[in-house]
Amino acid sequence: MGQPHGIGIVGLGVISTQYLDTLGAHPDVSIVATADLDMARAESVAARYRGCRALSVEDLVTDASVDTVINLTIPAAHADVALAALAGGKGVFGEKPLAATLHDARRVVEAAGSAWVGCAPDTVLGTGVQTARAAVDAGSIGRPVAAVATWVSSGHEAWHPHPDFYYRDGGGPLFDMGPYYLTTLFHLMGPVARASGVTSRPRHERIIGSGPRAGESIPVEIDTHVSGILEHVGGAVSTVTFSFDGAATDAAPLEIHGETGTLSVPDPNLFEGAVRLRRPGESAWTPVTERAGYENAGRGIGILDRLATGAGSARGDIALHVLEVMTALTESARSGRRIELTTAPERPALIPFTPENSWRKR
């Protein structure tokens, strides 16, 4: 094999540790540069990897050793960093959402040219969602006709020491958690043609519950409860709810209903989990045992998948479509109209079952 693929990471917050766990010891990639608003943090991470340097963002996106920039900044900075990396001739893999606005996301995709743009969530590449995808594609539930996706919590201010960005544009339950569920629905049921939504904002301030700012009040600038109906191109209808305004829920994270059965899909925020099947007249759920996807994967697997397959399944055009769905839900809530979508990417191929000792060692 040739030289390892050079990775530069911009943004070294909480989520970066999971990317480093996946990529740091993989033989096909090398962490060659880090950048963060806190230079000391960038230097601390860089010191863990041989030959890795802490750089400014401006230097990292033009550095000759960097092949792909991993963009782990806050949503408001996603587009600026991605565009700078693409201008520097680099590929980009970013945390979700692709950008804070649909306009900026389109700019990123249009600027890509021959460069690769990928985007989280890559949880959909794990055995949970891919096993469900295999079951749907095999006709285990017949033609899919409907889906229900639900995510409810009391808000991230209860645990996050600096939760401000969750309550600004590009945040909230829809933009923070929605991509996991909407990307899963795309992989299982294809693109969305039309969307209708309703939203609410019961509280206009939140109180930080932990860390050095505990007790501090922060403003809520976005809606914190979103419900919607999605009409898929293939004719199926999905009902979705994302909320920061409930204590908890016992609802299944995601269920797919078909003409001859129902699939219970594990939490799309995780890479694994049991997929269960139930058909009319049956009194119990049956585990689906024919698995697909990457085993014991972690965040960053989307980059390894791209290196292994060429095209990659965590693609930027899918992230753009998911962002358009989220934008349509909020636009529909404001206007009272059903919104027609303009993007309709093709689903990537099913990922066959790939044991951990295979994809880690390759």
Phi-psi bin for 254: left (phi > 0), alpha (psi -120 to 50), beta? beta
pLDDT of residue 362: 59
177-186 pLDDT, tens digit each: 999 999 999 9
pLDDT tens, 29-39? Answer: 999 999 999 99
237-296 confidence digits (pLDDT tens)? 999 999 999 999 999 999 999 999 999 999 999 999 999 999 999 999 999 999 999 999
Q: 311 pLDDT band (50/70/90 cuts)?
A: confident
For the chain, domain boundaries: 5-119, 123-295+315-340
Q: What percent of the chain has pLDDT over 90?
A: 95
Across the range 108-127, mean pLDDT stands at 97
Secondary structure in 3-state letters for the chain: CCCCEEEEEECCCCCHHHHHHHHCCCCCEEEEEEECCCHHHHHHHHCCCCCCEECCHHHHCCCCCCCEEEECCCHHHHHHHHHHHHHCCCEEEECCCCCCCHHHHHHHHHHCCCCCEEECCCHHHEHHHHHHHHHHHCCCCCCEEEEEEEEECCCHHHCCCCCHHHHCCCCHHHHHHHHHHHHHHHHHHCCEEEEEEEEECCCCEEECCCCCCCCCEEECCCCCEEEEEEEECCCCEEEEEEECCCCCCCCCCEEEEECCEEEEECCCCCCCCCCEEECCCCCCCEECCCCECECCCCCCHHHHHHHHHCCCCCEHHHHHHHHHHHHHHHHHHHHCCCEECCCCCCCCCCCECECHHHHCCC
Average of per-residue pLDDT values in the chain: 96
Residue 115 confidence class, pLDDT cut points 50, 70, 90:
very high
pTM here is 0.95
The answer regarding whether domain 123-295+315-340 maps to CATH 3.30.360.10 reads yes
The fraction of the chain above a pLDDT of 70, given in percent, is: 99
pLDDT for 94 equals 97
Q: What mean pLDDT do residues 348-356 have?
A: 97
CATH code linked to domain 5-119: 3.40.50.720
